[in-house]
């Protein structure tokens, strides 16, 4: 479901070993999908009788898309999502009474080299259908991804740390930056990251930051900024040296 960047990636990935179809309401987005059946009408899904549905629509519409398509699915069809925001999904899945599997490939087309993913990670939610989890574990293993298994709650805590901290840091950089005629290498790299992050869907960024575990992570940034600003204001050379030694240890 969905022929965006990640949807198209999964189509390409699966189409050589499985019979794959893509459902996309905007027919123009189907122009660059190959080796699959292309559907724009829900009754076409019913005729296809899928065994697994991968929901790759924009995170804002994940649950509405499921609700729309479910009447056209076989009773034993496994529901799955690849959403980076799992808010409300556990309760939704439980309410359907259907088999489900939830995963989070923690890479995106913005920065990742989709042909070389050995340094990228994926999360498989430990709750849900056993065979669905086996399917995605095998798929992600063949990509060379590092695989972690978390509950829905553990996933949300991990995302709050791994996404909210770099996202908020990027927002702060973008908020205070000025365009420079001769930017340094570090500035240009930060600028590239900022443009990539800010090209993401607004709703996705909002939901990641509204994660109930995000606030504590952002508060840590505020605390560290206060500490650093105090060192700078006092021109505390020893304090700066100690601070740098401490944070270097964190990135070894």
Q: Confidence band (pLDDT; 50, 70, 90) for 132?
A: very high
Distance CA 198, CA 171 (A): 8
Q: What's this model's pTM, rounded to 2 decimal places?
A: 0.81
Q: Please check whether residue 24 is in contact with residue 42, taking contact to mean a CB–CB distance below 8 angstroms.
A: no
The residues, any chain, with a CB within 8 Å of residue 69's CB and separated by 6 or more, are: 1, 23, 42, 45, 53
200 has a pLDDT exceeding 60 = yes
Other CB atoms within 10 Å distance of the CB of residue 242 = 12
What are 45-63's pLDDT values in tens digits? 999 999 999 999 988 899 9
Q: How many helices (H) and strands (E) are present in the chain, helices listed first? A: 11, 7
Mean pLDDT within 69-82: 96
The CA-to-CA distance between both ends of the chain, in Å, stands at 40
Residue 22, pLDDT score: 95
Contact at 8 Å (CB) between 99 and 79? yes
Residue 14 has pLDDT above 80, yes or no: yes
Local confidence band at 92 (pLDDT 50, 70, 90 cut-offs): very high
Q: What is the mean pLDDT of residues 118-132?
A: 92
């Amino acid at each position: 479901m969905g022929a965006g960047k990640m949807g198209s990636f999964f189509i390409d990935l699966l189409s050589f070993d499985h019979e794959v179809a893509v459902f996309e309401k905007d027919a123009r987005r189907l122009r660059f999908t190959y080796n699959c059946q292309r559907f724009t009408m829900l009754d076409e899904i019913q005729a296809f009788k899928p065994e697994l549905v991968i929901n790759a629509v924009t995170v804002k519409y994940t649950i509405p898309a499921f609700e729309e398509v479910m009447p056209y699915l076989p009773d034993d069809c496994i529901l799955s999502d690849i959403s980076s925001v799992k808010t409300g999904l556990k309760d939704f899945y439980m309410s359907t009474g259907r088999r489900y599997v939830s995963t989070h490939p923690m890479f995106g087309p913005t920065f990742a080299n989709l042909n070389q993913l050995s340094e990228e990670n994926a999360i498989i939610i430990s709750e849900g259908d056993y065979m669905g989890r086996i399917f995605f574990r095998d798929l992600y293993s063949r990509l060379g991804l590092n695989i972690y298994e978390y509950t829905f709650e553990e996933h949300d805590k991990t995302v709050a740390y791994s996404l909210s901290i770099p996202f908020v840091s990027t927002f702060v950089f973008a908020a205070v930056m000025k365009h420079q005629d001769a930017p340094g290498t570090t500035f240009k790299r930060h600028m590239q990251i900022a443009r990539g992050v800010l090209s993401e869907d607004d709703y996705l960024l909002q939901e990641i930051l509204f994660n109930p575990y995000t606030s504590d992570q952002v508060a840590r940034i505020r605390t560290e900024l206060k500490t650093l600003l105090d060192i700078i204001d006092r021109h505390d050379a020893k304090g700066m040296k100690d601070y740098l030694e401490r944070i270097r240890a964190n990135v070894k």
